[in-house]
Amino acid sequence: MAFAWPEGKRCAVSLSFDDARPSQLDAGVPLFAEYGVHASFYVLPCNVEKRIEDWRAAAAAGHELGNHTMSHPCSGNFAFSRENALEGYTLARMERELLECNRCIETLCGVTPHTFAYPCGQTYVGRGPDTRSYVPLVAKHFLAGRGFPNECANAPAFMDLAQSAGCSFDQLPFDALRKMIETAGGEGGWLVLAGHDIGGEDRHQTVHTDALRALCEFAMHPANGIWMDTVSNVASYIREWQEHER
């Protein structure tokens, strides 16, 4: 049986944001409430602690709180991660960090993370002959793992949910976002957009508020045939179809 989206939709779109930055609460959550949009927020517990009540309210409103590790380890080629580099991690250490992040989010906000976003989009630990993928750990503990930055939408009938493609939409104008959605629609794909801050200023790692508003209006219009929902909800639909077909 060929894959089909529910209610005859052409494609699915998920909005995701990393790090639990304040602008996501201040600019994003109120905007999403206007359109009935639910987004996925991949949070760092240290940032959630600064505004626990606001993050609890976001979760209660239907937004997804996902796992983004405790300490955001990336390659030591990034200066900010030099002292917490993936090259120095083992699989056991990464698994402990994933589980600890889950525990903290559950304690702070009362929700269990079901999906994960790879910090910096990097999926390995170690170096040289000792390099190991931690994708299997993500597959073991989560419904889906979101990458970053990727270049295409996901093909639901084929994709590996533990390596779901996430396309950056920081600083992109709506015209560019619309083209990405139309491409996904033509292919029946799942476009996962990944951003960071939300605001009106043209700053690094910022999704422009006007582009985000236009995107929500476009995606939520019934005539456009788009299912906009959290990563977890869309991934659950895909997994059920994949398991049935395989």
Average pLDDT taken over every residue of the chain: 97
* 78 pLDDT more than 90: yes
Verdict on whether the full-model pTM lies above 0.75? yes
pLDDT of residue 1: 73
pLDDT of residue 203: 83
Among 74, 88, 178, smallest CA distance to 131 is for 88
How far apart CA 225 and CA 173 sit, in angstroms, is 21
How far apart CA 235 and CA 214 sit, in angstroms, is 25
Q: Which residues pair with 115 in a beta bridge?
A: 144
How far apart CA 157 and CA 118 sit, in angstroms, is 22
3-class DSSP state of 61: coil
How far apart CA 38 and CA 64 sit, in angstroms, is 7
* 95 pLDDT more than 80: yes
> Where do the domains of the chain lie, and which CATH numbers do they carry?
9-199+209-226 (3.20.20.370)
Q: Which residues pair with 13 in a beta bridge?
A: 191, 228
pLDDT tens digits for range 47-74: 999 999 999 999 999 999 999 999 999 9
pLDDT of residue 201: 77
* 129 pLDDT more than 80: yes
Percentage of the residues of the chain whose pLDDT score is greater than 70:
100
pLDDT tens digits for range 203-217: 889 999 999 999 999
pLDDT tens digits for range 217-237: 999 999 999 999 999 999 999
